[in-house]
Structure formats: structure tokens, C-alpha cells
């Protein structure tokens, strides 16, 4: 699907963007792969690994999703956009709400408008489990962003630009993951634990990238894709990473949930289940699920809720160690 196509990744120098670049270059032959980000140092560092000399299809493009004009320049001639750029640190978002709104919401609006006007064929945007019933500003901005991309299908009209969203949980080993922090704190002999009951969804960066690329191919328009991924209790995780350490319960931080949810009870009323993922359907008159039903989808049962504490898949300590090793 990506062979001979022009692809742009916003936030292309982040952990997702770098792994996505690696997987695309390993498995496809795109005409052009544009790394769009605002950090020239990260672009320079990434170019030492993926150089334009070794990969002639690569383009490093400095820009910010807040800058609509720059997006128009970047999107010219692009077939597919993978939107991974975001401000995502929960504590920082609580202290700097306007900056997060500018990137996560206004930036999403800019992408929708630029993609339609530049006749981009498909846009798939990354979301987060924190966007379902959000209790922090980051989650609230990503929920709004999700709604903007899904509604973008109503705006595209004859342009036929299509938008969909992928939502998944915590990424093993990413900057926002607690795992690097636990590894660092292991030297002190004590790990700070917010709440012993806390659970989280977990996915590897490679699994996340491959799922996004798969959804880019599967999407029709307006779907919110959710992979079936395992959960783990925070205490079990701490024991797996640092079995010798003591635990210091410090309490839940501002904007933090005890358990994460990826599909709420209300979303379940219009959610389809496939073998290894779910699709939350858009609630618009133009939407039809006939193609998904024909591909084996079934409606989730009444009262369904996809939450990290009621998940039917759980990571063991040994499985987590394997994930950490591979991440």
C-alpha cells in the first residue's frame, strides 16, 4: 500500500516517528517519506541513523503543526499523513494548558484544513487511552483532537480526503512510560508507587506502529481503532523491573487515573469487535458499517467497557521482561 506513495509523519523525530520510519524503510519503497518536526537537533540526530544519502526517499522538514502555512507547504503532493505530533506530558499539560491546546487542538484543526485543501488521500491520527472519559487536560485535548479528525470527513466533500484515529495505551519504554523512571530509581533501592491498585494497558512501540500502518490500510473514514492489548498492575510491574526494591506509596498525582479506559460504556453502543481490535464507529448520518460487517465484525455486548482493570489479558512478569528487552 505504501510503495510508490508519498508519506508524511508529524512528530517524526519522536519515539513513534523513529520506529515508524524504520519499519516503513524496512518493508516498503515509498516515493517520499517526510519527517515533519519542530526540533532541528532531533532531526540532525535522526539523520545520522537514517540519512538522505542512504535513503533517497527521506526528507527532513522543520515545521510546527501550529503553523498552518507551513503545513500547506509540507502537505503538497503527499498521499498519506500519520499524525503523531503532540504535547503529552500530563503534569506539564496541567501547568501549561494554553500551550497544549495550541498544539493538540489547534494543530489538529490545521492538519484537517491543510489535508483537505492539499488533497491528501488518508490521514490517521494517534490518540491515547487518556482521551476516554478524560480527567486531565492532555486527555481532554486529545478527545477534542479525535473529534476534529472524525468530523473532518464531513468537511472533505468532493476532495475525498479521509480521516481516522488510532487509540492505544502506554508504550513500553517510551518517554512517557514509567519503566525508564523505575529503572533509574532502582539504584536508590526504593520505587515510588502512586497506588497499589493501579492498572495500565501496555503495548510495544513496534506493535503500535504496525497497528497504525495496518489501520491506515483498513480505514474507510471516521473509525476510531482500538487494539486488544494486555494490562498489568503497577505493583507487578515494579516487582518485575526491580524485585529487590521496596515500595513507597505516594498517592495518585493530579490528573492521574486509577485505571485507564479505552472504550467507555457509552462508546460501546456503537463499537464493533474484530479478532484483535475494536472499531468505535462515528455517529454521523453518512456512516455505514456494511464493509466492516462483511469483514466479520460483530457488535460488542450491552454494558461492554474496555478498561485496564477488567481486561481479560494480563501481562506476567516474564512477559513484561521480554517486552522490555525487545523495546
What is the rounded CA–CA span in Å between residue 179 and residue 291? 40
What is the rounded CA–CA span in Å between residue 31 and residue 14? 22
* Residue 199: CB atoms within 10 Å: 23
In the annotation, is 32 catalytic?
Answer: no
Q: Grid coordinates standing for 249?
A: 506509596
CA separation, residue 168 to residues 159, 263, 278, 315 (Å): 29, 10, 11, 16
CA dihedral 277, 280, 286, 288 (to 10 degrees): 40
- 26 Cβ partners below 8 Å, 6+ apart? none
Among 88, 122, 130, 142, the one annotated catalytic: 130
Buried b / exposed e over 211-240, threshold 16 CB at 10 Å, is: bbbbbbebbebbbbbbbbbbbbbbbbbbbb
Question: Pick from 133, 126, 132: which is nearest to 163 by CA?
Answer: 126
Catalytic residues: 130
Amino acid at each position: 500500500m505504501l510503495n510508490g506513495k508519498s508519506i508524511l509523519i508529524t512528530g517524526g523525530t519522536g519515539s513513534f516517528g523513529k520506529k515508524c520510519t524504520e519499519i516503513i524503510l524496512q518493508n516498503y519503497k515509498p516515493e517520499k517519506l517526510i519527517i515533519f518536526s519542530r526540533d532541528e537537533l532531533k532531526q540532525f540526530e535522526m539523520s545520522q541513523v537514517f540519512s538522505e544519502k542512504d535513503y533517497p526517499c527521506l526528507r527532513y522538514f522543520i515545521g510546527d503543526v501550529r503553523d498552518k502555512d507551513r503545513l500547506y507547504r509540507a502537505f503538497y503532493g503527499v498521499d498519506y499523513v500519520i499524525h503523531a505530533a503532540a504535547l503529552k506530558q500530563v503534569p506539564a499539560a496541567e501547568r501549561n494548558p494554553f500551550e497544549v491546546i495550541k498544539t493538540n487542538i489547534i494543530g489538529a484543526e490545521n492538519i484537517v484544513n491543510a489535508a483537505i485543501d492539499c488533497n491528501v488521500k488518508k490521514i490517521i491520527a494517534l490518540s491515547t487511552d487518556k482521551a476516554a472519559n478524560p480527567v486531565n487536560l492532555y486527555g481532554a485535548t486529545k478527545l477534542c483532537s479525535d473529534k476534529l479528525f472524525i468530523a473532518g470527513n464531513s468537511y472533505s466533500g468532493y476532495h475525498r480526503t479521509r480521516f481516522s484515529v488510532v487509540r492505544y495505551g502506554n508504550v513500553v519504554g517510551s518517554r512517557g512510560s514509567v519503566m525508564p523512571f523505575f529503572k533509574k530509581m532502582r539504584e536508590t533501592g526504593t520505587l515510588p508507587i502512586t497506588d497499589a491498585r493501579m492498572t495500565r494497558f501496555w503495548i510495544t512501540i513496534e506493535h503500535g506502529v504496525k497497528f497504525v500502518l495496518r489501520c491506515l490500510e483498513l480505514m474507510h473514514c471516521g473509525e476510531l481503532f482500538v487494539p486488544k492489548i494486555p494490562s498489568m498492575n503497577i505493583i507487578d510491574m515494579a516487582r518485575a523491573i526491580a524485585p529487590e526494591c521496596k515500595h513507597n506509596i505516594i498517592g495518585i498525582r493530579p490528573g492521574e487515573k486509577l485505571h485507564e479506559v479505552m472504550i467507555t460504556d457509552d462508546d460501546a453502543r456503537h463499537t464493533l469487535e474484530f479478532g484483535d481490535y475494536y472499531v468505535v464507529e462515528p455517529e454521523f448520518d453518512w456512516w455505514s458499517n456494511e464493509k466492516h460487517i462483511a469483514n466479520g465484525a460483530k457488535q460488542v455486548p450491552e454494558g461492554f467497557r474496555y478498561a485496564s482493570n477488567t481486561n481479560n489479558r494480563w501481562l506476567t512478569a516474564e512477559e513484561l521482561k521480554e517486552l522490555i528487552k525487545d523495546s
